[in-house]
Amino acid sequence: MLSRLLAWASQAPQRPAILTDQKTLTYQDLVEQILAYQPQESISYPTLIVKRDCFQQLIAFCYHLQHGNYPLICHPNLPEQEQRRLSSCDPPSDKAAFAVLSSGSTGRPKVFWRSWASWSNFFEQQNQLFYFSEQTRLFSHGSLSFTGNLNLALAQLWAGGCLVFSDQRSFKGWSSVWRRQKVTHLYLLPSLLQRLLPYFSADSYFAPYLLTSSQHLSPELIRSYYQRFPRLELLMFYGASELSFISWCQGFEAMAIAGFVGRPFPQVKLELREGHIFVQTPYAIEGIEQPYSVDDVGEMTAAGLILKGRTKDWVNQQGVKCHLPSLVQLVHQSGVVQEAAAIKGGSSAADEHVILCLVLKKQGSLTAVKAYLEAHLSPAQRPKRYILLKELPLNDSGKLDSRRLSQLAHKSTKAAHNTK
């Protein structure tokens, strides 16, 4: 990576590479800071980078990558006990150059080893598909410890473009940053896009290109963004930490078919085995046998792949199989729901049931939600419990925090028992 940055620093030393709320760093500045970095991290397998600032994460990562120290950027707020666990991994394979973490949204984060080629060999093609170039400016939310953020940040610098980092916490503050810094690309997860939309009018500044993962983006939300921003280029991809990019499509395609995740990326091959998606890719992590499955279920059509969730997304409620993602899609069509998530409840297989967690719109009511579901689902398919929240819990990357949501559901159950 450093050799690529050195080439850009030689070719265009004064071109902006990083824009923050306080300063502008050119490619020459970026290279100088990497070369002058004084590491404080203990060298281990992997070398943990524990920093909150994205710019400092990037500097440390590039330094340790260059020196063969197997860098791993830690998630924000990762407990010291977890840090100690992560720093005592088995030595990586000969091909490994760095490590990434799973999101940890459903459990303890896992360490995945990667060769540098597993990303860099695809940068040119993904930059072409995502329209990254020397003229583009990318804004993403959250730490570079999250795989998508780190991959796209490095790909943008590979293209000679610019990264925009901001400490602004309000959505309206983001919009002013995008306008001021002339952001061309946004990378935001569906959960954030759901919250973002009410804060913007057609006159608000919104970048020409929006990148997002496609797993949880409903056709209704896609349609709302196109209506608000008619010139928007919405690019959606399906991927996994273990496999990197798997497939992609444009927003209007996913708007027409719920769960549509498009066509495989170049050199990626897909096959279905009893409905499970298996992937053969040169962009996978080290140490897995391919074709590999992350337990996603799907359907292959002439248009492309339709994602139907994972095995854990099914709940056997009173002998009836209930599909949680389909329930979430359905309840959004009621018109009174701002955010929704469906989770599995019950302490045993015999007690499995569906819990629907809702954030209602101002004029919405739980009575209206129940009436809508009664009109579309049989009694055995309907949620057994409803939990109303002010907002769904998200982790630092903007993904739904499933562990926290389960804790809230458990707490709600205990409170209900205590009032009996």
Lowest-confidence segment of 17-21, 68-72, 318-322 by average pLDDT: 318-322
d(CA 47, CA 70): 6
Instruction: Extract the tokens encoding 196.
Output: 């973002």
Model confidence at 212, in pLDDT bands (50, 70, 90)?
very high
Domain range list for the chain = 2-309, 318-418
179's torsion region: left (phi>0), alpha (psi -120 to 50) or beta?
A: alpha
71 or 103, greater pLDDT: 71
- Taking the domain 318-418, which CATH number applies? 3.30.300.30
Residue 135 near residue 161, CB atoms below 8 Å: yes
pLDDT at 105 over 90: no
What is the reported pLDDT for 202? 77
Please say whether the structural domain 2-309 has been given the CATH code 3.40.50.2300: no
Taking residue 215's Cβ as centre, other Cβ atoms within 10 Å add up to: 20
d(CA 325, CA 343): 9
Rg of the chain, C-alpha, whole Å: 22
Model confidence at 106, in pLDDT bands (50, 70, 90)?
low
**Cα dihedral 235/241/243/245 (nearest 10):** 10
Residue 142 near residue 124, CB atoms below 8 Å: no
Q: What percent of the chain has pLDDT over 70?
A: 95
The residues, any chain, with a CB within 8 Å of residue 140's CB and separated by 6 or more, are 148, 149, 152, 153, 186, 187, 188
pLDDT at 216 over 80: no
Residue 246 near residue 270, CB atoms below 8 Å: yes
pLDDT at 419 over 50: no
Instruction: Extract the tokens encoding 220.
Output: 């209704």
Question: What average pLDDT score do residues 219-237 get?
Answer: 92
Q: Is 378 exposed, middle or buried (0-12, 13-18, 19+ CB in 10 A)?
A: exposed
Question: What average pLDDT score do residues 331-350 get?
Answer: 87
The 10 Å CB-count burial string (b at 16+, else e) for 146-180 is bbbbbbbbbbbbbbbbbbbbbeeeeeeebbebbee
d(CA 241, CA 256): 27
pLDDT at 398 over 80: no
Question: What average pLDDT score do residues 382-389 get?
Answer: 94
Q: Which amino acid is at 307?
A: L
What is the reported pLDDT for 413? 56
Residue 275 near residue 317, CB atoms below 8 Å: no
The residues, any chain, with a CB within 8 Å of residue 203's CB and separated by 6 or more, are none
The residues, any chain, with a CB within 8 Å of residue 61's CB and separated by 6 or more, are 49, 71, 73, 98, 144, 150
For residue 347, give the nearest of 255, 299, 409 by alpha carbon.
Answer: 409
Question: What average pLDDT score do residues 208-213 get?
Answer: 94
Residue 189 near residue 400, CB atoms below 8 Å: no
Length of the chain: 420
Question: What average pLDDT does the chain have?
Answer: 90
